[in-house]
């Protein structure tokens, strides 16, 4: 068994040259929201969920993006409601949120 059941990576890359990137769409704020929410729900910790910031995940055109391992499921999200749905469905109940999957 791996150390975490799910490892969630939020791309929070910020490009200095003005090119579009995930952080332009509030990725850092969404990461903080998810991290706080996972803790609040008692999902954080060994054997559970780890939520991390990542540098560029190289899917800028589809951003903002996150990926959940070991499931290898990539999501695009728009707002807190989308992130909350991913937490509730994927992390809590093991169901992929098809409408947000990329």
pTM above 0.75, yes or no: yes
Please, which pLDDT band fits residue 20 given cuts at 50, 70 and 90? confident
**What residue ranges define each of the domains in the chain, with the CATH number in brackets?**
6-100 (3.40.30.10)
- How far apart CA 47 and CA 85 sit, in angstroms, is 21
Please write the tens of the pLDDT for every residue from 62-101: 889 999 999 999 999 999 999 999 999 999 999 999 999 9
CA dist 67 → 35, 46, 87, 101 (Å): 14, 19, 12, 10
Of the chain, the percentage scoring pLDDT greater than 90 comes to 83
- Average pLDDT (15-35) is 91
Average pLDDT over residues 40-53: 97
CA–CA separation, 20 and 25 (whole Å) = 9
Mean residue pLDDT of the chain comes to 94
């Amino acid at each position: 068994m791996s150390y975490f059941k799910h490892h969630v990576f939020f791309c929070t890359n910020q490009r200095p040259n003005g090119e579009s990137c995930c952080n332009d769409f509030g990725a850092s704020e969404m990461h903080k929201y998810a991290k706080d929410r996972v803790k609040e729900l008692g999902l954080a910790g060994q054997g559970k969920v780890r939520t991390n910031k990542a540098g560029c995940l190289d899917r800028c055109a589809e951003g903002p993006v996150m990926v959940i391992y070991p499931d290898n499921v990539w999501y695009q999200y728009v707002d807190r409601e989308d992130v909350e749905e991913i937490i509730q469905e994927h992390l809590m109940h093991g169901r992929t949120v098809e409408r947000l999957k990329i």
